[in-house]
Homo-oligomer: A and B are copies of this chain.
């Protein structure tokens, strides 16, 4: 129904009590949808998990789907905030990528359930799913573009690189977080992955100690001066 941003809720709670109940339901939905999947998880289960009656769910959400999409949007915001915060102080793009990858994997570890939820969104509500990745990719591509202009990284199509890096991170999360196995060494994996992506991005001359290279006039599409 409501294509716009904030109003997926049927009614926003007017009291603290209501807000608390709504939050309880959302957390329960997270648990149920993550464990049983969207299609197999029932509102009855969600209500039970939240320790409220069935009908209570419909006081706060117009239907099953909207609780789900709210979870996806929430996760997107949290992840972007997490990445932003972790890399806020950093200047060098290669360094940012290293920290960003680790942050992503940590985030995934702390939110296994939500990770599964996003992936299901593709088949529950495509627009929500796309929004999750495109909004991530947008900021990513922009940052990469700026780093290219500054000559910090190789000059490539920013959107392409953004998707490459997201896909890489996504699969590492799938394999080393969701499918974690006995002998796995995530540090070794992170190390290899970072080497791979840094060399993929790095400009011809390897960075040594002064990451403040002046932008050589290579092929920069003369953005800022």
Do the beta carbons of B160 and A188 come within 8 Å of each other? yes
For residue A212, CB closer than 8 A to chain B, the reply is no
Given contacts A167-B170, A199-B199, contact A161 B192 (CB under 8 A): yes
Given contacts A122-B119, A199-B154, contact A164 B193 (CB under 8 A): yes
Collect the chain B residues with CB atoms within 8 Å of residue A38's CB. 123
Given contacts A199-B202, A202-B199, A223-B206, contact A163 B154 (CB under 8 A): no
For residue A157, CB closer than 8 A to chain B, the reply is yes
Residues 155 to 184 of chain A near chain B (Cβ within 8 Å): 156-157, 159-161, 163-164, 166-172, 174-175, 179
For residue A113, CB closer than 8 A to chain B, the reply is no
Q: How far is the CA of A166 from the CA of B199 in the complex (A)?
A: 18
On A, residues with C-beta under 8 Å from B are 37-39, 119-120, 122-123, 130, 133, 137, 154, 156-157, 159-161, 163-164, 166-172, 174-175, 179, 188-189, 191-193, 195-202, 205-206, 223
Extra pairs beyond A154-B195, A205-B223 (8, CB < 8 Å): A160-B188, A163-B171, A164-B196, A166-B171, A167-B169, A168-B171, A199-B199, A199-B202
